[in-house]
């Protein structure tokens, strides 16, 4: 366990914390989930939001963890995730 230098919450994994939990990245995360909602629909957005931080981070990086999307949807998801990850790394790390 470590403490985040940005928001002072305790985290298990730094990347998962910054991507899925950190208060400092919350506006980026909100924008990312809005884009997911627009591109892939509300059901997919809610499925992704319900995942735990580690699974969601792995999913953003391309691991085949539920929810399983179609090829087109998965490519859109990975593209949006890549843009979000790069923004988070630039902004937070
Ligand atoms: Zn934090």
Structural domain harbouring 40: 2-92
pLDDT at site 67? 74
C-alpha of residue 70 to centroid of ligand 1, in Å? 32
> What pTM did the predictor assign?
0.91
According to the model, what pLDDT value does residue 64 have?
87
Separation between Cα atoms, residue 29 and residue 46, nearest integer Å: 14
Separation of 80 CA from ligand 1 center, angstroms? Answer: 21
Distance 5 CA to ligand 1 centre (A): 7
Give me the pLDDT at residue 65, please: 85
Residue 87 CA, ligand 1 centroid: distance in Å = 15
pLDDT, tens only, 25-83: 999 999 999 999 999 999 999 999 999 999 999 999 999 887 788 999 999 999 999 99
DSSP 3-state of 92: helix
User: Whole-angstrom Cα distance, residue 27 to residue 22?
Assistant: 10
Tally of domains in the chain: 1
Task: Give pLDDT, residue 32.
Answer: 98
């Amino acid at each position: 366990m470590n403490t985040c230098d940005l928001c002072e919450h305790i985290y298990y994994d730094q990347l998962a914390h910054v991507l899925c939990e950190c208060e400092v990245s919350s506006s980026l995360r909100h924008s990312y989930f809005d884009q997911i909602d627009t591109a892939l629909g509300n059901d997919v957005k809610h499925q992704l939001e319900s995942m735990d931080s580690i699974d969601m981070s792995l999913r953003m990086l391309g691991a085949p963890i539920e929810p399983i999307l179609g090829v087109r949807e998965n490519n859109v998801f990975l593209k949006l995730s890549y843009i979000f990850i790069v923004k988070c790394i630039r902004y937070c790390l």
